[in-house]
Structure 1
Amino acid sequence: MKRKLSLIEGTMYAGGQTAVNVVSSVTIKGGIRESDLHASLVKVQARHPLLSSNVWEDEAGISYFVEQHPIQRIRVRTVNRLTDQDWERESITECLTPFDTKKGPLVRLVWLKSENISNLIFVGHHCLCDGRSILNIMDETLSLLGQPEMEIGTYKSFSSIQNFIPAEIRDSKVNKLKIQLFSKVVKLVLLAVTFKKEIKREKPFFLHWKLSQEESSVIIEKCKSEGSSIHYALSVAFLRGFKELETVKSHSRLYCAVDMRKFLPEIEDNMLFAFPVMLGLNLPNKKTAGFWNEVREFKKDLTKKIEEMNVNALLLYSECLLPSLPGMTRYAKADKGAHDFTLSNMGKVSLSEKYGALEIESLQSPTTFFPFGNPTTLSSTYFKGQIDFMLASDEYFIKQEDALALKNNAMNMIIQ
């Protein structure tokens, strides 16, 4: 296999030297045999072509996924589990540890091991998987631990993003002209900002919290009664929360990660994919009375943007920017961003509560430390009747104590 990385994949690759990893942890009750864990990972790796690939660049600096020869097995690092908080320390370590993109597999596992309880920390390079993908790898691994004899098959990875664009759109002379002009404008913009210096992100942190089943139920029912969902309520609550922080410059703007799978039927939910669309949205400007009126306005704006999104144009323009990726990466590492945070709400996840003799005690939502732009990211999942949150950032952008105040204020808006 040899496939050119898409624009989003190439952005997350970030030149191969920087850690851009997705991390998610699950707490397991029950005994795990080391031989079964490795056997499960062999089958998971065999299913997904990208898990047996590395990234190489050609003479022009264009990056490609290339199949390994010989294939390097997914690595497991075993650590004695001493406390219930060990997963957070190890997750931060894994977020900050780069992959060897030229030699090793781009997924790895940390096993926090004790007699009856384990934490499995799944780590994937963001260039080949998003939060949903890492949860899928987690589900497949646990399924095979519960049923070692099970077969999960395999599939062929697509050969190019261009395959998803209809030929009449891809070959249109008008579209080709537009793309050429757009590419030249981007190059000029990047030349104008080459003087900017990279921001050193040296104090990253996680803020993790999980609502009880009762609190989660109350919030979900309240959102339903208001004609909304937890996604929109979180968006407005945290945007409002940022405005109330005196120590942080608020832009009243966020980016919502929209899963592209819903627009590309060729990409199934259980395939590895890392091509989200980032839609920028502002806190509603309309004078509305009350929190839930603002939430409904925000819902209208996001729904309209998704409906108006031209997927074919998005794919076309993204492909033409590939030669500008090195400059775009340098700029992103030096930019503070003009938004408050990025929201990745994965909703109800497809994990089972039990896998054979193993039982999931809790799930920690997928998260990452972005090394470019504003790294502040809020991730959320819903599992076993509980909403789980991970807020990741760096103290250069927001102090940890301010992030805690933000979290408390935002959650109070929703719960009250």
Structure 2
Amino acid sequence: MSRLERLFFMRPVYTVIMAARITGAVDPAGLRQALDATARKHPLLRVKVVFDERHEAWFSSEGVPPVPMRIVQRVSDRQWLDELKEEARVPFDINRGPLIRFVLLQSPDVSDILLLCNHSICDGMALANLVRDILILYEDPAQEVSVINPPDVLDLVKPGISLPGLVVRFFVGLGNRKWQKNPYRFSADDYAALYRGYWETRKPGLVLLEFNPEESAHLLATCRSHGITVGSAVSAAFLAARTDIVGEFPKNQQTVMVPFDLRRRLTPPVGNVFCFCDGGVKFPFSWSVKKTFWENAKDLHKEIHSRVEVLDPSCLDIPSFEPSFIDALTAFGPYVDTIPEVFARTDTMRRFMKDTGNVVFSFNRNYEKDLPGFVPSNIGRIDVPESPGGIRLDRLIFLPGISELGPLSLGGAGAGGRMAFSLPFVDPSAKTGISPEAELIRIRNRAFEILGFPEKVSDKALE
């Protein structure tokens, strides 16, 4: 497990989720066969995590059971969200594996497939490609399956040397030396206790902005007439809507972080490999009330694409933290104040919380102040040919992570001619004890109005 993958390993809000709607009669046995074949193609679907004597984490396939697929009778169009809310609260058994699981909500004419995956082995594009691979193998189970081994992204992209990077390395070196004097090595039991404890009194939530095929085509044409992508326009609409409803982000969070798929930009290309293969660009951006919506949208589009088109590896310049130090910084330290009662559940967590002089707490003191205000993750359109038997991918809904640390997060995906954008949230907020759903619905509705769809305004999270 690379340092990059470990950043997203143990935190309870970093389960990446995708919901795929399939029209036509889905055979569970055939889907099971396709899932097993896909697991042979992508080794990370069948791994667990083992720790060595230095507490380095390694992916291992030894003795890992098949990818679980729970089958539920589908009785309503909204049922998938209810299942998702419960399933997302369950930690992975990281010592046993796998780090991914499926739920099939089946009915004779329409089925929903939920994919939930630990972020250390996947990103949104990986899950979207996985849906496509499964459906293709479902239609042609006799085709030959070739293994695509995951690369270490940090070996493929080499960040350059910079003065800020050297400064960071200096302080990380000091932090490592302090950490080594009194390290805490968090185990699978600690991860499970943190994960379950966090979600005991809250659930994931979701507000959806969705366009049917006719609306999607209209929006696409409008965006093209302005020379920008739908992703840029929708991102701009949510920035404008959030500004209208809530106000500007705090000064230190007037930034945008845009993840992007490294698979499309690496040389030589790595193909549709299943792994964590994301980059990201972070830049300052604030909404200008002196400009029209489309002028602001063009500015945002230009800023995003000027940075993404030139591969900037600085986002992958992960400092060489001690392995266990990463777990403490990213997964356990941020929750000591939020859910202190949970830290009494294991000996390691209890000792860690009481050690207030630990270097982790000084590192994390200003952590939230450095978080971006807006993180739009748009994986684009996924095309799967319709089968002769009528099986068809009708839509995809992508949840890039369900966190309350950043003010606004967006997940976008397109399939079956439909575009869907999700606003995931934690319900209720651990900070305020209040559900953010009503506020996010108002933001979503304002975004509909800004984009020219006032008739889609609704008081419901899902239309």
* Residue type at the aligned position of 2:170: L
Q: Contact 1:19 / 1:99 at 8 angstroms: preserved in 2?
A: no
Give the whole-Å Cα distance in 1 for the aligned partners of 2:114 and 2:170.
45
Instruction: Decide which moves more: 247-256 or 266-275.
Output: 247-256
Deviation per CA, 1:280-333, whole angstroms, max 9, x where unpaired?
34434667531111112222322333356542x544x31523543123213444
Q: Please name the residue that 2:327 is paired with.
A: 326
Deviation per CA, 1:180-206, whole angstroms, max 9, x where unpaired?
42523766999xxxxxxx996624311
Verify: 1:10 aligned to 2:12, yes or no. Answer: no
- Aligned pair in 2 of structure 1 residues 217, 405: CA closer, same or farther (>3 Å)? same
Verify: 1:54 aligned to 2:31, yes or no. Answer: no
Verify: 1:401 aligned to 2:433, yes or no. Answer: no
Instruction: Decide which moves more: 388-397 or 181-190.
Output: 181-190
Instruction: Give secondary structure in 2 for the equivalent of 1:12.
Output: coil
The structure 2 residue matched to 1:184, chosen from 135, 152, 173, is 173
Unaligned runs of 5+ in 2: 180-194, 339-366, 454-463
- Aligned pair in 2 of structure 1 residues 188, 224: CA closer, same or farther (>3 Å)? farther
Give the whole-Å Cα distance in 2 for the aligned partners of 1:65 and 1:155.
16
* 1:115 Cα deviation after fit: 2.8
Give the whole-Å Cα distance in 1 for the aligned partners of 2:111 and 2:127.
18
Q: Please name the residue that 2:306 is paired with.
A: 304
Q: How many equivalent residue pairs?
A: 397
- Aligned pair in 2 of structure 1 residues 405, 266: CA closer, same or farther (>3 Å)? same
* 1:344 Cα deviation after fit: 0.8
* Residue type at the aligned position of 2:383: S
Give the whole-Å Cα distance in 2 for the aligned partners of 1:186 and 1:285.
37
Q: Please name the residue that 1:121 is paired with.
A: 114
* 1:126 Cα deviation after fit: 1.3
Q: 1:364-379 maps to which residues of 2 (within 5 A)? A: 364-371=396-403, 373-374=405-406, 376-379=408-411
* 1:176 Cα deviation after fit: 10
Unaligned runs of 5+ in 1: 191-197
Q: Contact 1:20 / 1:98 at 8 angstroms: preserved in 2?
A: no
Q: Please name the residue that 1:226 is paired with.
A: 226
Q: Please name the residue that 1:255 is paired with.
A: 257
Q: Please name the residue that 2:19 is paired with.
A: 25
Verify: 1:111 aligned to 2:101, yes or no. Answer: no
Give the whole-Å Cα distance in 1 for the aligned partners of 2:268 and 2:405.
31
Instruction: Give secondary structure in 1 for the equivalent of 2:303.
Output: helix
Give the whole-Å Cα distance in 2 for the aligned partners of 1:187 and 1:237.
43
Verify: 1:245 aligned to 2:245, yes or no. Answer: yes
Verify: 1:355 aligned to 2:351, yes or no. Answer: no
Please provide the CA RMSD for this pair: 3.4
* Residue type at the aligned position of 1:123: L
Give the whole-Å Cα distance in 2 for the aligned partners of 1:293 and 1:189.
50
Instruction: Give secondary structure in 2 for the equivalent of 1:73.
Output: coil
The structure 2 residue matched to 1:41, chosen from 6, 24, 35, is 35
Instruction: Give secondary structure in 1 for the equivalent of 2:443.
Output: helix
Q: Contact 1:254 / 1:339 at 8 angstroms: preserved in 2?
A: yes
Tell me the TM-score normalized by structure 2.
Answer: 0.75
Instruction: Give secondary structure in 1 for the equivalent of 2:93.
Output: coil
Q: 1:95-244 maps to which residues of 2 (within 5 A)? A: 95-158=88-151, 160-165=152-157, 180-181=169-170, 183-184=172-173, 202-244=202-244
Give the whole-Å Cα distance in 2 for the aligned partners of 1:182 and 1:308.
29
* 1:347 Cα deviation after fit: 1.5
* 1:392 Cα deviation after fit: 0.3
